[in-house]
Amino acid sequence: MEFIKYKSTRGKESGVNASEAILKGLADDGGLFMPEKFPKFDFALEDLKGKRYQEVAYEVMKLLLSDYTKEELTDCIEKAYDEKFDTEEIAPLVKAGGAYFLELFHGDTIAFKDMALSILPHLLTTSAKKNGIKNKIVILTATSGDTGKAAMSGFCDVEGTGIIVFYPKDGVSNVQRLQMVTQKGDNTDVVAIHGNFDDAQSGVKKIFSDKDFAKKLSENGIQLSSANSINIGRLVPQIAYYVYAYVKLLETGDIAAGEKINVCVPTGNFGNILAAYIGKQMGLPVDKLICASNENKVLFDFFEHGVYDRNRKFVLTSSPSMDILISSNLERLIYLSCGSDGEYVSKLMKDLSAGGKYEVTKAMKDFMKDFIAGFADEKKNFEGIKSLYDSTGYIIDTHTGVAFSVYEDYKKATKDMTKTVIASTASPYKFADSVLEAIFGQKQDMGDFEVIDKLHEIGAPEIPKAILEIKDAKIRHTRECDSADMQKEVEDILFNNRR
The one catalytic residue among 7, 113, 130, 280:
113
Longest CA–CA span in the chain (Å) reads 61
CB-CB neighbours of 397 under 10 Å: 27
How far is the C-alpha of 142 from the C-alpha of 132, rounded, in Å?
A: 27
How far is 339 from 342, CA to CA, in rounded Å?
Answer: 9
Q: What is the 3-state secondary structure (H, E, C) of 269-328?
A: CCHHHHHHHHHHHHCCCEEEEEEEECCCCHHHHHHHHCEEECCCCCCCCCCHHHCCCCCC
Rg of the chain, C-alpha, whole Å: 21
Give 163's DSSP letter.
E
Write down the H helix ranges in 170-210: 174-181, 197-208
Residue 375 and residue 300 in contact, taking contact as beta carbons nearer than 8 Å: yes
Residue type, 455: L
Count Cβ atoms below 10 Å from residue 49 Cβ, excluding itself: 14
**Got the DSSP string for 454-468?**
HHHHTT--SPPHHHH
Q: Based on the residue annotation, tell me whether 113 is a catalytic residue of this protein.
A: yes
In angstroms, what CA-CA distances link 242 with 86, 227, 246, 276?
19, 21, 6, 6
- CA–CA gap between residue 123 and residue 69 (Å, rounded): 12
Residues serving a catalytic function are: 113
